Amino acid sequence: MSQTIPSVDLNDFLSGDAQRKAAFVQELGAAYEEIGFVALKNHRLSDELVEALYREVQAFFNLPTNIKEHYEIEGIAGQRGYTGFGKEHAKGRNTGDLKEFWHFGQYVEDEDPIAAEYPANVDVKELADFNSVGKEAYQTLEATGLDMLRALALYLGLDENYFDAHVHNGNSILRPIHYPPITEEPKDAVRAAEHGDINLITLLMGASADGLQVLNKANEWIPVTALPGQIIVNVGDMMQRHTNNKLRSTIHRVVNPPKEKWAQSRFSIPFFMHPRSEMPLNCLEECITENNPKAYEDITAGGFLEERLKEIGLKK
């Protein structure tokens, strides 16, 4: 683990011990003000579930291209199912990233009318366990993400359950990504160009190969690798905006490997935790001070997402 990414233990927050809980809240908040990333232990994902998910994801991306393309659904801006190689680019760039990916989305299992906003999840007929394993991972990471948001609410001086209603049946996405082997000198494309995530927080299980780097306050790129048994959790742009820049959405990227490793695929599976579209992302009063005046116009999460999907090329 790089010395620059603090490590926290979710069991401290859930321990029922007020002192351990308060220490977790402080460590998490301080890390998110400083670098925007933490490594998290005891995050509910079992080794068996992680292994099963990687097995299913690799099996999917190994399917013939014409079968994968069958799962690329027109007209939904890549919100569910498959998105082919090079279709997405970072904000401010035109070159497509060297990746293909899949989206699992929300499972609305109560009578919530928000279900009408979401495209259906896409079933892969060729792989019997792909969808059930994806759903289990999605719901596990969603539960862990909710705990992280509860800790952040306390750090920000809000009620512990402030985020609960905003993320219930939220527009979260589990995104298995495949960065295929690099077969020729990429002109200016990288596996994922520098960007901030759009959402509230991102939970990332360890990728199958190195490459993730974050930009620290001194403008240095720092490699990030999670130790076995840890996941990376970082702040997204929605949270930075909502907290009026108190919490940092750190710029990060996935760089191309050294030439001798070009033949290796890289797999990575982030969970992007989004709120419901109607959540106001207005700067929190608790985060507006004389030294930190209100930096952003009022906007809803849905309005902000719409803007960003256009900027990264997924929506016209």
pLDDT in tens, 91-121: 665 555 678 999 999 999 999 999 999 999 9
Whether the predicted pLDDT of 69 surpasses 70: yes
pLDDT at 99: 83
pLDDT at 237: 95
Q: What percent of the chain has pLDDT over 70?
A: 89
Band (pLDDT 50/70/90 cuts) for residue 3 is very low
Of 89 and 307, more confident = 307
pLDDT at 182: 75
Of 203 and 187, more confident = 203
How is the chain split among helix, strand and coil, in percent rounded to 5?
30, 20, 50
Domains in the chain (CATH in brackets) are 7-311 (2.60.120.330)
Check: CB of residue 256 under 8 Å from CB of residue 190: yes
pTM for the model:
0.90
Q: CB under 8 Å to 298, separation ≥6 — which residues?
A: 280, 281, 282
pLDDT at 48: 95
Q: What's the whole-number mean pLDDT along residues 70-75?
A: 92
The pairing of strands 266-273 and 81-83 is unpaired
Q: What's the whole-number mean pLDDT along residues 120-133?
A: 97
pLDDT at 191: 58
